[in-house]
Structure formats: C-alpha cells, structure tokens
Amino acid sequence: MKKISFLDGLRGTAAVVVVISHFVQVFYPSLFTLRPEMMHNQFEAWLSKTPFNLFYNGNFSVCIFFVLSGFVLSYKYWETRRVDVVIESTVKRYFRLVLPVFFSILLVYIILLLNGFSLETVSPITYTDMTTHYHALSHDFVTMVRTAFFDTFFLGNADYNPVLWTMNYELIGSYLIFAMLIVCRDTPYRYVAYLLLIYMLRHSYYLAFVLGLLLCDVYHNHQRTLHVFQKPYIPLLTGILGLYMGSYPYIDTSNTIYALLDVSFMGYDPMKFNHVWGAFFLMIAILASTGIQKILSSPICVFLGNISFSLYLLHFTILCSVSGYIFSLLNGSFSYNVSVCISFLLSFPLMMVGSYLMYRYIDTTSIFWAKKFYLTLFRKQVKPPRVKKAYVQDNSLL
C-alpha cells in the first residue's frame, strides 16, 4: 500500500514550528506581545508584524494539525465506504492518545520531584510571561494519574504540560468527525451538515476538523473540482492566501499588512479565525500541488512527521528544564543572544533523540494496544480489510 507521505511531512514541519514558537515565547517574548520592556533586540518590533512570524507561529501550526486530523481520520472511510472502520477508529482513538500523554506527564512529574525545572529561574532574565508555575503543581501521584487519563482529555487540564491544551480539542474533534461519518456517510445531505457545522463552529477550533473532513471528501469524491484547483495559478494563490492568513500575528494589527484581516468587528477572534482558514487554504494548495507534495515527502520531513506527536509532547518539558538550565549557565559569560542560540543548539538534538525514542517505544506501543483493545472487544465483528489505494498513518495529531 502506498503511503501518503506528504501529510507526514506537513505534520513534521508544523511540529518544528511549534518547538521554535515556544523557544521564542520563553526567550524573546516581545515577539508575541510587542511590549518594549520585554525586548532584547531592536528588530523584534519589526519582525513580529511581518510574515516572518510564520517561523514561530505555533497557533497556526496547531490549526494545521486540526485540519490534518479531520482529513486523516476520515480518509479510511472514504477509501473503503465501510462504517466498521469508523467504529474501529472511534474505539481506538482515546487509547491511541492516552499512553503518550501519560508518559509526557509522568516525565514532568519525575522532573518536578527532582526540582529540575528552570523556567522560573530564567524568567526574570528573559522577561517571559509564561504562566506555567511548576512549583505550584501537585506532587500527589494519584492527582498526576487522574490528570493524564481524565482531566487532560475531558476537562482540558494542561497544568502539567501546557501543550496538552490541544488534547481536549483533538479527542472531541475526532469524535465529531466519526459521528459525521456514521450519521451522514456518503449521502448528498452531508453537504448541508457541513454548512451547518461550519456556521455553528465558526468561532471554534473545531471548525478546522470539519474543514479537514470536507477536504478529504472533495479529495476522494470530486476529482473534477480537485482538477480545477490543480491549475498552475490556483495552488500559488491559495498557498499565498493560506500563508498570509496563517501569519496573522499575536499582536495588535493596526497599521500593518494584516489590518484587512481583523474580523473582530464581526465578533470573531481574528487570530483564531485567520489561522483556521489559513490552514484550510494552505491544505488546498498542498493537495493541488505535486511540487509541494514532493518537498514534503523528503526523508527528513517524513522522519519529522513520524516523531511529530512525541516531539510535540516532549519539547516544552525539555525547554523548561534542560534549555533553561543551559541558558542560566551561559548567560553572563556570553551575550544574551549567543546564550539563547547555544542553549537551542544543545537542547534541540536532545528533543529529537528523546522524541525518536518515545516514538519508537511509546507511540508505536500505544497504536498497537489501541488496535489490540479493539480486536478484543469486537473480534467477531472484525472483517478482513479491503485493499486500499493509499494509506495514511494513524498518527493524525502530529
């Protein structure tokens, strides 16, 4: 079976942007706030107002993850038209996510007991306003376990690992996709449901999941429409539009090139609105461009895609412990910028190695046990899979 590797490449690229985003948020916070007292360099005021913020715009990358989830989680159904594959995905989804999440929180818990976090030590120097207060986290083991298995997914609790705020969206958004596929299937009425959901969820990140589902539907069932989008100028225009909207900054956009995108007068959160729709248009460009697909299918991008979930879960913990510690040792002996660069160059490889090991031994194990749980529960109902035209890895988050 052929694997659609460019989706992995897109996911891996977005995950690296999230890592850079959190480095910037800790060491160059004015790029997110534009507050003069947080600046370390003169160029920060200019950079934050330009499309260069794409290199550290983590919220846009998260929206790409959500659109990808809607696309990938519906892919098997549109390939097979079998409801049982949707039921299988529904049963496995929580168990596929929970083991890596538990491991990431357990790692935080262990470092917490060892007093190994350095964020609060370096924050007076970096001026970051990160709200993570590790000293206030519970040392109770039962509380940690409950947070990992329940609070994170169903209450949106991300105290131990702030990046886990997406898990509640990911789980509920996944079930939204599965419910749509089970109820509407491939009937013509599904388009009415798409429109209703787009309207109802227009203020929410859940909109990204519906847009991903819609794209997957078009990808499989409307080749003529897809062919129109493959005309040379369409991927270029949709790609530029997607990147323009996706680079909508965290700061006030008055007197910037993003002033036209400010939809706050309509009651929308302009950053959320633009990042979700930007991810949608960027995805159209990628689906329509074989050139972009070839780039994203490169070995390094695919590798990053494979470890992306693990990288997403681990990087912030390493940043707030190892990276901060290295910076605290270097700062004073070297300039601020040099200290930041060295701490990044030394800790990023650690993130990569740790993410690979987590992918190899935790992430793949979670996929195996999720499958095993489903087979144990429904062994009599499981049918041999049909031959598929393509295959998408069951790693739809990152």
In sequence order, what DSSP letters do the residues of 201-267 get, joined into one string?
Answer: TTTSTHHHHHHHHHHHHHHHH-HHHHHHHTSTHHHHHHHHHHHHHHT--SS--TTSTTGGG--GGGT
CA distance 151 to 170: 14
What is the total count of domains within the chain?
A: 1
The predicted model gives 233-251 an average pLDDT of 94
Least confident of 309-313, 360-364, 388-392: 388-392
For position 133, what pLDDT does the model report?
79
| Residue 246 domain boundaries | 5-378
Q: Does residue 383 lie in a domain region?
A: no
Residue 385: pLDDT over 50: no
The predicted-structure confidence for 346-359, as pLDDT tens digits, reads as follows: 999 999 999 999 99
CA distance 327 to 346: 10
Where is 296: in which H helix or E strand? Answer: helix 290-296
CA distance 359 to 163: 17
Q: Does residue 272 lie in a domain region?
A: yes
CA distance 291 to 302: 16
Least confident of 17-21, 195-199, 234-238, 299-303: 234-238
For position 377, what pLDDT does the model report?
85
Higher pLDDT, 21 or 391: 21
The predicted model gives 293-313 an average pLDDT of 97
Least confident of 90-104, 130-144, 278-292, 320-334: 130-144
Predicted TM-score of the model (pTM): 0.93
Residue 384: pLDDT over 50: no
Helix pair angle (5-27, 58-80), 10° resolution: 160
- With beta carbons less than 8 A apart as the criterion, state whether 327 and 27 touch: yes
For position 165, what pLDDT does the model report?
97
Distances, alpha carbon 3 to alpha carbons 9, 303, 350, 391, 392, in Å:
12, 13, 28, 5, 6
Name which of 282, 304, 355, 298 is nearest 12 in CA terms: 304
Q: What is the mean pLDDT of the chain?
A: 92
> Tokens at residue 319, please?
């940043």
The predicted model gives 236-263 an average pLDDT of 94
Q: Does residue 393 lie in a domain region?
A: no
Q: Does residue 258 lie in a domain region?
A: yes
Helix pair angle (206-221, 165-184), 10° resolution: 40
> Tokens at residue 109, please?
């818990």
Residue 26: pLDDT over 60: yes
Q: At 393, which amino acid appears?
A: Q
Residue 330: pLDDT over 70: yes
For position 233, what pLDDT does the model report?
84
Name which of 149, 173, 175 is nearest 160 in CA terms: 149
Q: Does residue 388 lie in a domain region?
A: no
Q: Does residue 361 lie in a domain region?
A: yes
pLDDT band at 234 (very low <50, low <70, confident <90, very high): confident
For position 130, what pLDDT does the model report?
81
Residue 45: pLDDT over 80: yes
For position 390, what pLDDT does the model report?
46
The predicted model gives 66-78 an average pLDDT of 96
Q: Does residue 200 lie in a domain region?
A: yes
For position 382, what pLDDT does the model report?
44
The predicted-structure confidence for 73-132, as pLDDT tens digits, reads as follows: 999 999 999 999 999 999 999 999 999 999 999 999 999 999 999 998 999 999 998 866
For position 387, what pLDDT does the model report?
42
For position 224, what pLDDT does the model report?
72
Q: Does residue 384 lie in a domain region?
A: no
The predicted model gives 310-316 an average pLDDT of 98
- With beta carbons less than 8 A apart as the criterion, state whether 164 and 103 touch: no
Among all chains, which residue has been given the structure tokens 């309207």?
A: 199
pLDDT band at 155 (very low <50, low <70, confident <90, very high): very high
